[in-house]
């Protein structure tokens, strides 16, 4: 029973819009999107939130949990305001992502999977993001940043609120 409402009306509306894409009896198709929308509102997916989304979609909680733990873009722990995803896969590696990673880690004083003390940045290592021609690259939030250099990183991070 939905005795607690964990999502805003806007988020629930967004989930409804997603549901509209699929046949009526295939609500589970919107599960991935619903989890993303919930995460966007709350920064991360707590167990409680996953169960809530499962109820909204109408699937057993363990199904939603399976999905939340299978896909790498879901955060099952709190993350910083800006999630920096650095690609270290082969094309980026060949073009020096090691230096980029070192630079970021030193600059922010955190390792992969960690969040800065002020809660501003989380650093994550990710697999190839399909921007290999712009290697080395990273994604922050929804945006891609390519052809990185230490100087470019300084400018990018500075511009973030």
Partner 1 sequence: MTTVTIEVDGKSLPAQAGEMLICVTDRNDIYIPRFCYHEKLSIAANCRMCLVEVENAPKPMPACATPVMDGMKVFTRSKYAQTAQQGTMEFLLINHPLDCPVCDQGGECPLQDQAMDYGSDDSRFLEKKRSLPSHDIGPLIATEMTRCIHCTRCVRFGEEVAGVVELGAPGRGEHMQIGTFLNRSIDSEVSGNMIDLCPVGALTSKPYRFAARSWELQNHPGISPHDCLGTNINIQTLRDQVERVLPIDNPEINQCWLADRDRYSYEAVNSEQRLTQPMIKDGRKWREVDWETAINHATAGITTVLNSGSGNDIGKGIGGLAAASSTLEEFYLLQKLIRNMGSDNVDHRLQQCDFRDDNIAPRFPASEIQIQHYNNLAAVLLVGSNIRKEQPLLALRLRDGCNKKGTKISAINPVDFDFNFDTVESDVAAGGQMVRSLATQAAHVAQIKSAELPFDIKKIADSNPGFEQTANNLVAAGENGLIIIGALAQQHTDASLLKAISQWICDTTGCKLAVLGCANSAAGWIAQCVPGDNGMNAGQMLGQNGSAGLRCFILLGTEPELDSIDGKSALATLNKAEFVVQISAFKSASVMKYADVLLPMAAFTESAGTYINCEGRIQNAKVAVTPKGEARPGWKILRVMGNFLELNGFEQITIDDVTEEINLTDITPSCRLVELQFHPTLSSGEKSTPDLMESDSLIRVVDMPMYRAEVTLRHARALQQTADNPPPAAGLNPATASRLQLNDGNRVKVQNQSGSATLELRTNDRLAENCVYVPAGFMETTDLGRHVRVTVKKIE
Partner 2 sequence: MEIEFNTVRKAYNVCLPDSSRDQPWTLKSYQANGGYQALEKILREKTPASEIIEALKASNLRGRGGAGFPVGVKWSFMPRDADGQKYVICNSDEGEPGTCKDRDILRLNPHALIEGMTIGGYVMGATVGYNYMRGEFWQPYEVMERAMKEARQAGYLGHNLLDSGFDFNLYSHLGAGAYICGEETALLNSLEGLKGEPRFKPPFPATFGLYGKPTTINNTESFASVPAILRGNGKWMNSQWFKDLGVENSGGVKVFSVTGHVKLPGNYEIKMGTPFSELLKMAGGVWKGRKLKAVIPGGSSVPVMPAINIMKANMDYDSLQQNGSAVGAGSVIIMDETTDMVKVLERISCFYFEESCGQCTPCREGTGWLYRIIRRINNGHGTMADLDTLLDVANRIEGRTICALGDAAAWPVQSFLKHFGHEFEAKVMAMDGLYAASAGRAGAAANPANATADSA
Per CB under 8 A, residues contacting partner 2 are 21, 23, 26-33, 35-36, 57, 59, 63, 66-67, 70-74, 85, 88-91, 93-95, 126-135, 139, 142-144
Residue 65 interacts with, from partner 1, partner 2, none (CB under 5-8 Å by kind): partner 1
* DSSP bridge pairs for 86: 125, 138
**According to the binding rule CB under 8 A, does residue 63 interact with partner 1?**
yes
- Nearest CA to 139 out of 71, 78, 83 is that of 83
| Nearer to partner 1 (CB atom), residue 112 or residue 144 | 112
- Nearest CA to 82 out of 156, 133, 25 is that of 156
Residues from 28 through 47 that contact partner 1 (CB under 8 A): 47
Residue 110 interacts with, from partner 2, partner 1, none (CB under 5-8 Å by kind): none
- Nearest CA to 144 out of 72, 86, 91, 74 is that of 86
Minimum CB separation from partner 1 for residue 60, in Å? 4
Residue 47 interacts with, from partner 1, partner 2, none (CB under 5-8 Å by kind): partner 1
Cα angle 25, 15, 12; round to 5: 120
Contact 147, 134 (CB under 8 A): yes
Cα atoms found within 13 Å of the Cα of residue 91, Cβ hemisphere only: 14
Residue 31 interacts with, from partner 2, partner 1, none (CB under 5-8 Å by kind): partner 2
Contact 56, 92 (CB under 8 A): no
| Nearer to partner 1 (CB atom), residue 67 or residue 138 | 67
The residues that touch partner 1, with contacts defined as CB under 8 A, are 1, 47, 51, 60-63, 65-66, 68-71
């Amino acid at each position: 029973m939905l005795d607690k409402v964990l999502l805003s009306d806007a988020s629930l509306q967004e989930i409804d819009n997603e549901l509209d894409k699929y046949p009526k009896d295939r609500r589970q198709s919107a599960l991935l999107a619903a989890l993303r929308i919930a995460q966007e509102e709350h920064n991360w997916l707590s167990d409680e939130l996953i169960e809530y989304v499962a109820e909204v979609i109408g699937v057993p909680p363990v199904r939603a949990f399976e999905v939340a733990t299978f896909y790498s873009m879901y955060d099952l722990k709190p993350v910083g305001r800006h999630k920096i995803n650095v690609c270290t896969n082969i094309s980026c590696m060949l073009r020096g992502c090691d230096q980029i990673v070192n630079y970021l880690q030193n600059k922010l004083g955190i390792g992969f999977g960690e969040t800065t003390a002020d809660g501003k940045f989380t650093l994550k290592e990710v697999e190839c993001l399909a921007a290999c021609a712009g290697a080395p690259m990273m994604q922050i939030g929804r945006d891609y940043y390519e052809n990185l250099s230490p100087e470019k990183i300084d400018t990018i991070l500075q511009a973030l609120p």
